[in-house]
Amino acid sequence: MKVPSKFGALAFDAKSGHIGGALNQNSKAEAQRAAINQCNAGNKNIHCKVISWVRNGCVAAASGKLNKQTRVIGGSAEQGAAEQNALSNCKNAGMTECKIVMPEGCSLP
């Protein structure tokens, strides 16, 4: 029996600092749209963009400082590893003071 895939995504708006996520969606497009909608939260002045997505796995986000600005970066991996992946992506991007701002969430079939 074939089990349908599940998708998750994270979205972020650098100007406002808003972050949103969606889990257990039926397609990548649905997951990205739901994450953007949650991040925008009905505010027309917020313009969130997808920073990470996953199929049958987990996502997390970390923030860090780069050139005195706070930035957010996503990470995706198998269950139990997304937060470490987000922290590694943060450090690999040259950021300092990396910390998790969106804990791991999983979309599993």
pLDDT tens string 1-33: 788 899 999 999 988 899 999 999 999 999 999
Confidence at residue 44, expressed as pLDDT on a 0 to 100 scale: 83
Q: Is the predicted pLDDT of residue 35 greater than 90, yes or no? A: yes
In a domain, 31, yes or no: yes
Asked if pLDDT for residue 69 goes beyond 90, the answer is no
Q: Is residue 11 part of a domain?
A: yes
Residue 2: inside a domain: no
Asked whether residue 1 is assigned to any structural domain, the reply reads: no
**How far is Cα 62 from Cα 104, in angstroms, rounded to an integer?**
10
Average pLDDT over residues 58-87: 94
- Report the pLDDT value the prediction gives residue 3, as an integer from 0 to 100: 81
Specify the DSSP element, H or E, that contains 51. Answer: strand 49-55
Residue 43 lies in a domain: yes
**Whether 3 contacts 109, CB under 8 Å:** yes
Q: Which run of H or E residues covers position 58?
A: strand 57-66
The answer to whether residue 34 is domain-embedded is: yes
Domain span at 83: 7-107
| 89 vs 48: CA distance, rounded Å | 20
| CA 9/CA 59 separation, integer angstroms | 7
* Total of domains in the chain: 1
